[in-house]
Chains A and B, each alone.
Chain A
Amino acid sequence: AQSVTQLDSQVPVFEEAPVELRCNYSSSVSVYLFWYVQYPNQGLQLLLKYLSGSTLVKGINGFEAEFNKSQTSFHLRKPSVHISDTAEYFCAVSHMFSGGYNKLIFGAGTRLAVHP
């Protein structure tokens, strides 16, 4: 069975500092990996995705993530955060079933708090 573990429930960081949000997954089959961001009182917005190819994936708002198959990790990074990055971040793993049904399993989320 697939599962996703986000290792930190909260990450406080000062503005302009680098940040890493950690995500580990378990799956016995090929996976597709996603990071979503949720701003207060909003829905989830796709930050970036790994489907295949290069293990370093770049997304919106200056975020990037690295897929590491041997460590079953997909950590999210940003070299310099802004106050506006304060939000909750969700890692998700997907398995595509026959017929096109795309099952997403989410981690519990990491709340990033950027302080001035």
Chain B
Amino acid sequence: DAGITQSPRHKVTETGTPVTLRCHQTENHRYMYWYRQDPGHGLRLIHYSYGVKDTDKGEVSDGYSVSRSKTEDFLLTLESATSSQTSVYFCAISDPDRGREQFFGPGTRLTVL
């Protein structure tokens, strides 16, 4: 998985609680992304980062925030989890100097009860 880890790999939480997912890369890629995967929708972009402290919204960003304080770490936070945020979350990385493809982490399965 191109040196990408995600933690935790599985999490069950209750509606209204805050949740933070972590993505860590050892590839020194400039761009990092958070996607969610839901049946019938493929992968949809939540947020992305183009550098330390530089982030922007994707197509399904409502209810999510992100932070990137170091090149290697990209955090996704659900401030107050809802059942509609039950999903599998994937982190990805890319670097325009090394090609146009994105490389994906192993995913985090989040269940909000």
| CB < 8 Å neighbour of B40 from A34, A41, A90, A108 | A108
The number of chain A residues with a CB under 8 A from chain B is 26
A46, B101: Cβ atoms closer than 8 Å: yes
Interface residues on B, range: 20 to 34
**A24 located at the interface, meaning its Cβ lies under 8 Å from any Cβ of chain B in the complex:** no
B43, B97, B104, B105 interface centre (most CB from chain A within 10 Å): B43
Shortest Cβ distance from residue A50 to the other chain B in the assembled complex, whole angstroms: 10
**A44 located at the interface, meaning its Cβ lies under 8 Å from any Cβ of chain B in the complex:** yes
Q: Which residues in B have their C-beta under 8 angstroms from that of A109?
A: 42
B40, A46: Cβ atoms closer than 8 Å: no
**A43 located at the interface, meaning its Cβ lies under 8 Å from any Cβ of chain B in the complex:** yes
A96 and B94 CA atoms in complex are apart in Å by: 12
Q: Which residues in A have their C-beta under 8 angstroms from that of B30?
A: 100
A102, B107: Cβ atoms closer than 8 Å: no
B42, A42: Cβ atoms closer than 8 Å: no
Query: Of residues 15 to 41 in B, which have CB atoms within 8 Å of A's CB atoms?
Result: 30-31, 40-41
A43, B1: Cβ atoms closer than 8 Å: yes
Q: When each residue 95-106 of chain A gets 1 if its CB lies under 8 Å from chain B and 0 otherwise, what string results?
A: 010011111101
B104, A43: Cβ atoms closer than 8 Å: yes
| CB < 8 Å neighbour of A103 from B4, B45, B104 | B45
A102, B50: Cβ atoms closer than 8 Å: no
A43, B31: Cβ atoms closer than 8 Å: no
Q: Which residues in A have their C-beta under 8 angstroms from that of B105?
A: 43
Nearest-CB residue, chain B, relative to A100 = B96
